[in-house]
């Protein structure tokens, strides 16, 4: 029988265990899903032993290798970046277009974006080296709200907004939805706030094109609980741990809701 001291020690040991796929993802090497694929393929070793079991637990002192290379214990970094227009959200482009990595400060060029903004769009990009975090933020089952300020051609009305909310087929078999509200009119144009819970390519542009109100300008102002406040175009700020914790709490609630539906 364990005495109280032994029980506490045992509980401490249990709490220190981390799933192998999470440990790999937390290093910034890849997402947790990709880590599962690496484990199943037999290229991951723990203390010299090949592990193919999903759900295998490890401790911080364990030596982990992937394809023979030691897993680096990376310091996880999160930033919010105000993307200017004229740059695509990718590390390189075969067409020779300018990317955000052409203008990002050197100290954050190793970070990856959470989702994308197209070339002509501006606004908030969350960037990190935390692969597990990226996977959670972009998983289709997690309806994390993304808020945009959009200027569209023409004077839109409630009927236009109803069409956006009811869904528009932007590609064959792909129905896109958006919650929109009119902020103001600027001459013959309409300024909108649009909230998305999906992550389709050029979703807002395609939706507004389909109802005859093409986008003039598009800026993302928030993603989950993180917003662009205090940033100018081309600037970035490190996201504080409390802000990440608040965001993870929001994701946990959405995960719970998705699992109960």
If pLDDT is split at 50, 70 and 90, which confidence band does 130 have? confident
Choice among 36, 62, 102, 118 that is catalytic: 118
Give a yes or no: residue 1 inside a domain: no
- Is 132 in the same domain as 102? yes
Cβ atoms 225, 250 nearer than 8 A? yes
d(CA 160, CA 256): 33
Helices 131-138 & 32-40, crossing angle to 10 degrees? 120
- Is 125 in the same domain as 182? no
**CA angle in degrees (0–180, nearest 5) for 210-211-215:** 80
pLDDT tens digit sequence for 134-144: 988 998 888 99
Q: CATH number for the domain including 159?
A: 3.30.70.1560
Which parts of 79-219 fold into alpha helices (H)?
131-138, 158-166, 203-210
- Is 162 in the same domain as 61? no
pLDDT tens digit sequence for 159-190: 999 999 999 999 999 999 999 999 999 999 99
- Is 157 in the same domain as 219? yes
Q: Which residues contact 66 (CB under 8 A, 6 or more apart)?
A: 24, 29, 38, 43, 44
**pLDDT at res. 257:** 84
Counted domains in the chain: 3
- Is 92 in the same domain as 64? no
Give a yes or no: residue 3 inside a domain: no
The CA R_g of the chain, rounded to the nearest whole Å, is: 22
- Is 85 in the same domain as 64? no
167 phi and psi angles, rounded to 5 deg: 105, 140
- Is 134 in the same domain as 158? no
- Is 170 in the same domain as 41? no
- Is 160 in the same domain as 211? yes
Give a yes or no: residue 253 inside a domain: yes
If pLDDT is split at 50, 70 and 90, which confidence band does 95 have? confident
Q: Does position 6 have pLDDT exceeding 70, yes or no?
A: no
**pLDDT at res. 16:** 64
Q: CATH number for the domain including 28?
A: 3.10.290.10
- Is 195 in the same domain as 250? no
d(CA 255, CA 119): 31
Tokens of 115: 């989702």
pLDDT tens digit sequence for 201-248: 999 999 999 999 999 999 999 999 999 999 999 999 999 999 999 999
Higher pLDDT, 260 or 127: 127
pTM: 0.78
Which parts of the chain fold into alpha helices (H)?
4-16, 20-26, 32-40, 131-138, 158-166, 203-210, 241-260
Give a yes or no: residue 2 inside a domain: no
Domain span at residue 27?
A: 14-70
Give a yes or no: residue 4 inside a domain: no
Give a yes or no: residue 234 inside a domain: yes
Q: What percentage of the chain reaches a pLDDT higher than 70?
A: 93
Q: Does position 73 have pLDDT exceeding 80, yes or no?
A: no
d(CA 175, CA 173): 6
Give a yes or no: residue 179 inside a domain: yes
- Is 245 in the same domain as 133? yes
- Is 51 in the same domain as 175? no
Question: Catalytic annotation on 118?
Answer: yes
Where does a domain end: 70, 88, 108? 70
Tokens of 34: 């990709």
pLDDT tens digit sequence for 13-22: 344 688 999 8
Q: CATH number for the domain including 89?
A: 3.30.70.580
């Amino acid at each position: 029988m364990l005495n109280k001291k032994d029980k506490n020690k045992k509980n401490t040991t249990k709490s220190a265990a981390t799933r192998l796929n999470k440990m790999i993802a937390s290093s910034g090497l890849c997402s947790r899903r990709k880590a599962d694929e690496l484990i199943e393929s037999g290229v991951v070793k723990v203390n010299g032993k090949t592990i193919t079991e999903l759900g295998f637990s490890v401790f911080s002192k364990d030596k982990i290798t992937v394809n023979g290379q030691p897993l680096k214990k990376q310091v996880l970094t999160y930033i919010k970046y105000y993307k200017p227009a004229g740059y695509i959200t990718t590390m390189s482009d075969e067409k020779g277009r300018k990317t955000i990595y052409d203008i990002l400060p050197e100290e954050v060029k190793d970070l990856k974006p959470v989702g994308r903004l197209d070339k002509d769009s501006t606004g908030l990009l969350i960037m990190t080296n935390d692969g597990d975090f990226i996977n959670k933020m972009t998983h289709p089952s997690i309806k994390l709200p993304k808020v945009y300020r959009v200027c569209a051609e023409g004077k839109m009305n409630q009927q236009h907004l109803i069409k956006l909310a009811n869904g528009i087929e932007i590609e064959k078999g792909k129905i896109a939805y958006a919650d929109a509200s009119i902020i103001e009119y600027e001459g013959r144009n309409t300024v909108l706030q649009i909230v998305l819970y999906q992550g389709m390519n050029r979703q807002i542009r395609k939706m507004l094109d389909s109802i005859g109100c093409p986008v003039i300008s598009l800026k993302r102002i928030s993603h989950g609980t993180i917003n662009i406040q205090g940033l100018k175009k081309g600037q970035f700020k490190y996201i504080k741990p409390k802000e990440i914790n608040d965001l993870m709490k929001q994701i946990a609630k959405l995960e719970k809701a998705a699992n109960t539906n």
